[in-house]
Structure 1
Amino acid sequence: MNLNWILKRFDELTPFELYQLLRLRSEVFVVEQNCVFLDMDNKDQQCWHLLGWDGDLLAASTRLVPPGMAYAEMSIGRVVSSPQLRGKGIGRELMLESIKAAHELFGKNNIRIGAQLYLEKFYQSLGFHTDGDVYLEDGIKHVEMLYQPS
């Protein structure tokens, strides 16, 4: 898949981009995962957002969180891909682009994530290792994972 990747600070997002971003996150995190939670947590404004576009369709996105905000390390969060395009390697491409962008923004340091437990093996395949016990967040099992660049 040949996505057009755009990296922007929150205040650089156009109204169209912001709408599509929040819509995709709602579609997946609230509707698909049947999880009632407040996605807009007042962290977006201090973060960078990586958007992968397939034409006018927002195919995938992550939130790149500066060190000291969610964890001592930088973080990649709100990892989401469009249900319409799954099964085409978008998740792997999204994470590889996100790791690269996070290192360009914040330096080539460790990245900590709070991963949904069912995705643990996927993140391990990208070089993350489990770094903590399983915990519940919004009724979904999660585990902290750490990526240490070589």
Structure 2
Amino acid sequence: MKAFLQSPVGIIKIEANNGYITSLTITEDTPKEESDSNDILNKAIKQLEEYFAGSRKQFELPIKQAGTPFQQKAWEYLNSIPYGETVSYKDEAIAIGSPKGCRAVGSANGRNNLAIIVPCHRVINENKGLGGYAYGLDVKRHLLELEQYYRNKP
């Protein structure tokens, strides 16, 4: 099942399977398919709309994505990064017990299929540069600026 949401960063495609959100991708292409509707997709859309409006700082959705144990550890860590804050790839590598694994962390984050919900956009270079992002640096910058803007607002 899938649903689409027009957002400030493009069209978001949300996929769900067996009661879990399994994928969130961002595109500029107009969907050629119709949105499906079920409770989990509707909940995801509502929470994403709240996120972009600044009223949601943490997602409460059942998620599942396949990955290696290292990738799972990296993605789990991403959910611990507070809204509006950033960490470096090195910080993440150290936190998950792989202090020399900066590149591996970057690779794992690049394979995150749940962008925004699992906030890989909050990981930046040690020198404060944006680093990479699957959907481009403009999208990453927009997400970080959005979170900075709403960070201390109720």
Q: Same fold (TM over 0.5)?
A: no
Q: TM-score, normalised by structure 2?
A: 0.28
Larger Rg: 2
